[in-house]
Structure 1
Amino acid sequence: MQTNVFVGNLAKAPTLSGQGDKAVARFTLISNEYAGKDRETGEVRERSVALPFTAFRGKADALARNAAKGDQIIVQYRIENNEYEKNGETVYTFNFLVEDFKFGAPGKEKRDQFSRGNE
């Protein structure tokens, strides 16, 4: 099985549905990547990459309870092919499924929350 790693910041807090063995968290991570240099100015260009992830069971609970918008998450994931029929045509999509994750740097919301707690 192929696994990948993506490091990004949460676009918004994860959404959780279900509980226990049926817990599912969905969230989007955004990261900037190199997109070449501007031919006229020579300035480095970046583009945003956003991937939608799905986590299950305990990982889903942990993410939903502890992650906030802007937090950095390091995700080890696998890609699952999804194929279905729509209007007589085959549609191909992908699911990005969390195998494991680590919390990275806290985002602005969490940093503000920490600083209010120290007052």
Structure 2
Amino acid sequence: MRSTNLFIVRGYVGADAKGFDGGKVAKFSVATNRVWNDRQTGEKKEATDWVALTILNEKVAKWALENIRKGDPIYAECRVAERSYQKEGQTVYTTDIIANVVDRLAPSQQPDDS
């Protein structure tokens, strides 16, 4: 059986992509919206979740640094990566979202905000 670690993000860029390691790595956050009806009141609720993306592929990172701007609607295919490190004698665990594919969406493909 083939396994898959795929995380898809569609949303709006919160700030211009930032480069690290001489532009070989790029990072930016994406706002995604959730909408639901409250079970008790039936009232429509909405919340924004922020997803911090890291691009390790040098070619994709370079493209993102040149093309991704605050407010852009984007689509990203990512993988979830967990890692740990030692800090002051304690093990710290982190979860990173590593984007492998990033595309800016056309106006007709923008995430639905309703």
Q: TM-score range by the shorter chain?
A: 0.7 to 0.9
Rounded to whole Å, the distance in 2 between the matches of 1:90 and 1:68 is: 35
The partner residue of 2:11 within 8, 13, 23 is: 8
Q: CA deviation at 1:91?
A: 1.6
**Structure 1, unaligned runs of 5 or more:** 107-119
1:5–1:76 CA contact under 8 A, matched in 2? yes
Match of 2:110 in 1: none
Greater Cα radius of gyration, structure 1 or 2: 1
Rounded to whole Å, the distance in 2 between the matches of 1:74 and 1:31 is: 11
TM-score (norm 1): 0.76
TM-score (norm 2): 0.79
Alignment partner of 1:80 is 2:81: yes
Distance 1:44 1:55, change over 3 A: same
Tell me the SS of whatever aligns to 2:16: coil
Superposed CA RMSD in Å reads: 1.8
Paired positions, count: 103
Q: CA deviation at 1:35?
A: 4.2
2:34–2:49 CA contact under 8 A, matched in 1? yes
Distance 1:97 1:87, change over 3 A: same
1:38–1:45 CA contact under 8 A, matched in 2? no
Rounded to whole Å, the distance in 2 between the matches of 1:37 and 1:93 is: 31
Distance 1:35 1:85, change over 3 A: farther
Rounded to whole Å, the distance in 2 between the matches of 1:37 and 1:48 is: 16
**Structure 2, unaligned runs of 5 or more:** 108-114
Tell me the SS of whatever aligns to 1:100: strand
Structure with greater proportional helix content:
1
